[in-house]
Amino acid sequence: MPIDVSVVRKIAALARLRIDPAEEERYARELDGILGFVEQLQALDVAGIEPTSQVTEGARPALRADEVCPFGARDEALEGAPERDGDYFKVPQVV
Amino acid sequence: MSAPLVLESAESLARAVTQGERSAADVTRAFLAQADRTAPKLGTYLHRLAESALRDAEAIDRRRAKGDPLGPLAGVPVAIKDNICVRGVPTTCGSKILEGYRPPYDAHVVERLRAADAVIVGKTNCDEFAMGSSTENSAYQVTHNPWNLDRVPGGSSGGSAATVAACEAPLSLGSDTGGSVRQPAAFCGVYGLKPTYGAVSRYGLVAFASSLDQIGPFARSARDTALIQGVICGRDARDTTSRADARPISLDALERDLAGFRLGVPRAILDEAGEGLAPSIRAAFESAISAYERAGAKIVDVSLPHSRYAIATYYLIAPAEASSNLARYDGVRYGVRRSDGDLRGMYEATRGAGFGREVKRRILLGTYALSAGYYDAYYLRAQKVRTLIRKDFLDALAVSDALLLPITPTPAFKLVEKTDDPLAMYLSDIFSIPASLAGVPALSFPASFDASGLPIGLQVVGRPFDEETILRVARAYEREHDAASRVPAIALAEAGDAR
């Protein structure tokens, strides 16, 4: 499917990403070019091939014990917030 | 006359500090002075840490005076890519969206470096969220190649590569998702290692594409690369993919010769680059093969037939994972916020204003590849092709001990040359991406120079967790060639002044 401006608007909304309307055309053109390039994968027969989501050398990702470990720098973490109310991150009203 | 201090290896500096021949403070001061002169011209740093570096160095000297044992990087300055967290120090990933962010913790690798008595000297410039091949996607500044200021240093870890090339620091860390350590290492004439996936904990590395991201070091010799890799590798419970299989590398083992060594050469991959492959790169590659034959290695023909699909595979998998990882930049917990009515308006305005063009392009691409109706055709298919690419590498490494490949199709290109053509920029990753998808260790080492004096790097790829062997292959070349010992005029002239 060719990528046009309406597709760019739709995926930008999914990604919660505001795109300057003056740039929508350019993104559409660039994405269309990249997706045209990756089309080459369709030519490959991948029937019966397992997908690789993570290269872990056959080992399961190691799990650690589910124990509470105090982080110890709560104030430093909260200081990074654009808006804070006591020990909370503050956001615009949701409901 | 002795060589300027900043040209010395990390290994010899650490030894001198440990034995009390030099103070850590003097070593740190020398590198800080070098960076005072060259960093403004090169644009290597987003944030320098002169004060705390000197304080850390003096603390190391006091501990030595008390008779405390010192770590393997005693008093050695190390620069850190700006997508790796250093507690209390601005960490922006080259992005406006993280302007002013100061992480409340050290990355695992930074903890390891401190425990080894290294001195952290600053945060280096990089492409925004490590997305790019030239460091031109940084929202803050351009970084210049120390060998030619009109050229890019490569990317995304361009600042970390350039700072080591210019002798502003003997060592640095970068991150490599599709070549972001190896490619800038080649462009700047230094060593750059992408360790095996799982060898180094990513705790405190800002996530880009989690199935590919790996932290790796830059250095000016094979031995120094081994030294710092030995410090940063190993199991850390805070990164579930990190493994205990990675062990410190024996420096003595690097000196073993290559008699009987089987070096795999996948020649067909050169043709994939077509006319994009510079004659100087091909010549350097062929000349290295001859050098290895002379050194006693047996050249084995191997093939990586699915690597021709690597760029297409990568540019589906990496943006898909990035679109998910970068969802956390929402203006709530860190960085900047742009208000616009309700919560959703705030998200959209913050992300629209905070991210640059390349990051937006990849978020859009990744969101599309993961969206309903396209997941199977794009992301899932790419993951299956990835299985084939990885199998090719393991097959080739079953009949050889390591592989030799180019790392870049050309030497460093000019600033602004490729900024308007994202696909052309992506295609320059043709030799670096396959090993990333396969998860195997890969090292870029300085091999020679082209007629205009730009460095040319080559790549050695090894078996999982066998970093030692690929460093040994590079070390064998280093012993016979002087490419690694050459430093750019900007570093020499300045170092000469400092003497």
Q: What is the pLDDT of residues A20-35, one digit of tens each?
A: 999 999 999 999 999 9
- Please state which of the four CATH numbers 1.10.1740, 3.40.50, 1.10.20, 2.40.10 is assigned to the domain occupying A1-42: 1.10.20
Amino acid at A94: V
> Is the Cβ of A77 closer than 8 Å to some Cβ of chain B?
yes
> Is the Cβ of B316 closer than 8 Å to some Cβ of chain A?
yes
Mean pLDDT of B277-300: 97
B chain contacts of residue A40, beta-carbon cutoff 8 Å: 309, 312
User: Out of A45-54, B237-246, B286-295, which region has the weakest mean confidence (pLDDT)?
Assistant: B237-246
Asked if pLDDT for residue B209 goes beyond 90, the answer is: yes
Q: How far is B379 from chain A (nearest CA, A)?
A: 10
Smallest CA–CA distance from A16 into chain B, residue = B348
The reply to whether residue B235 touches residue A55, judged by beta carbons under 8 angstroms, is: no
The reply to whether residue B346 touches residue A44, judged by beta carbons under 8 angstroms, is: no
| CA atoms of B162 and B188, how far apart (whole Å) | 6
Grouping H, G, I as helix, E, B as strand and the rest as coil, residue A22 is: helix
Determine contact, residues B421/B166, Cβ cutoff 8 Å: no
A chain contacts of residue B364, beta-carbon cutoff 8 Å: 8, 11-12, 15, 17, 27, 31
Residue B488 located in a structural domain: yes
Determine contact, residues B122/B48, Cβ cutoff 8 Å: yes
| CA atoms of B264 and A49, how far apart (whole Å) | 26
Instruction: List, for residues B174-204, the tens digit of each pLDDT value.
Output: 999 999 999 999 999 999 999 999 999 999 9
B287 vs B4 pLDDT, higher one: B287
Please count the residue pairs, one from chain A and one from chain B, whose beta carbons lie less than 8 angstroms apart. Answer: 177
Residue B406 located in a structural domain: yes
pLDDT at B498: 45
Tokens of B413: 């290109």
Q: Is B335 left (phi over 0), alpha (psi -120 to 50) or beta?
A: left
Helices (H), B170-278: 182-188, 222-232, 251-254, 268-272
Asked if pLDDT for residue B2 goes beyond 70, the answer is: no
Tokens of B128: 């925004």
Which one of B315, B368, B430 would you mutate to disrupt binding with A, by most A Cβ within 10 Å of its Cβ?
B368
Question: Quick one: what percent of chain B has pLDDT higher than 90?
Answer: 90
pLDDT at B418: 82
Residue B335 located in a structural domain: no
ipTM, 2 decimals? 0.95
Angle at B335 between CA B163 and CA A93, to 5 degrees: 170
pTM check: above 0.95:
yes
Mean pLDDT of B379-394: 97
Interface subset of B 369-398, CB within 8 angstroms of A:
371, 377-378, 380-388, 390
| CA atoms of B178 and B130, how far apart (whole Å) | 10
Question: For residues A85, B87, B177 and A46, what is the CA-based torsion angle, rounded to 10 degrees?
Answer: -50
Tokens of B428: 């320059």
Grouping H, G, I as helix, E, B as strand and the rest as coil, residue B19 is: coil
Largest CA distance in chain A: 57
Quote the domain boundaries for residue B234: 5-307+385-495
Question: Quick one: what percent of chain B has pLDDT higher than 70?
Answer: 98
- Does the annotation count B156 as an active-site position? yes
User: Out of B120-134, B148-162, B474-488, which region has the weakest mean confidence (pLDDT)?
Assistant: B474-488
- Does the annotation count B81 as an active-site position? yes
- Contacts for B335-340: CB closer than 8 Å, 24+ residues apart: B335/A80, B335/A82, B335/B97, B335/B98, B335/B99, B335/B100, B335/B101, B336/A82, B336/B96, B336/B97, B336/B98, B336/B99, B336/B100, B337/A82, B337/A83, B339/A92
Asked if pLDDT for residue B1 goes beyond 50, the answer is: no
pLDDT at B248: 79
Asked if pLDDT for residue A55 goes beyond 90, the answer is: no
Domain with B404 in it: what CATH number? 3.90.1300.10
Catalytic position from the list B133, B138, B156, B160:
B156
Count CB neighbours of A9 within 10 A. Answer: 15
pLDDT at B494: 52
B374 vs B437 pLDDT, higher one: B437
Asked if pLDDT for residue B11 goes beyond 60, the answer is: yes
Determine contact, residues B124/B184, Cβ cutoff 8 Å: no
Residue B269 located in a structural domain: yes
Confidence of residue A57 (pLDDT cuts 50, 70, 90): low
Which one of A18, A23, A25, A75 would you mutate to disrupt binding with B, by most B Cβ within 10 Å of its Cβ?
A18
Mean pLDDT of B30-34: 98
The reply to whether residue A31 touches residue B383, judged by beta carbons under 8 angstroms, is: no
The shortest CB-CB distance from B332 to any of A71, A73, A91 is to A91
Measure Cα distances from B305 to B88, B271, B330, B340, B396 in Å. Answer: 47, 12, 41, 51, 11
Helices (H), B207-342: 222-232, 251-254, 268-272, 279-294, 310-325
pLDDT at B495: 56
> Is the Cβ of B211 closer than 8 Å to some Cβ of chain A?
yes
Smallest CA-to-CA distance from B393 within B284, B266, B209, B223 is with B266
Domains in chain B: how many in total?
1
> Is the Cβ of A11 closer than 8 Å to some Cβ of chain B?
yes
| CA atoms of B197 and B191, how far apart (whole Å) | 18
Domain boundaries defined on chain A: 1-42
| CA atoms of B49 and B32, how far apart (whole Å) | 9
Residue B456 located in a structural domain: yes
Question: For residues B233, B191, B93 and A38, what is the CA-based torsion angle, rounded to 10 degrees?
Answer: -100
pLDDT at B300: 98
Confidence of residue B361 (pLDDT cuts 50, 70, 90): very high
Angle at B224 between CA B285 and CA B248, to 5 degrees: 105
Residue B185 located in a structural domain: yes
Residue B361 located in a structural domain: no
| CA atoms of B383 and B440, how far apart (whole Å) | 16
B chain contacts of residue A71, beta-carbon cutoff 8 Å: 104-105
Q: How far is A11 from chain B (nearest CA, A)?
A: 6
Residue B73 located in a structural domain: yes
- Does the annotation count B180 as an active-site position? yes
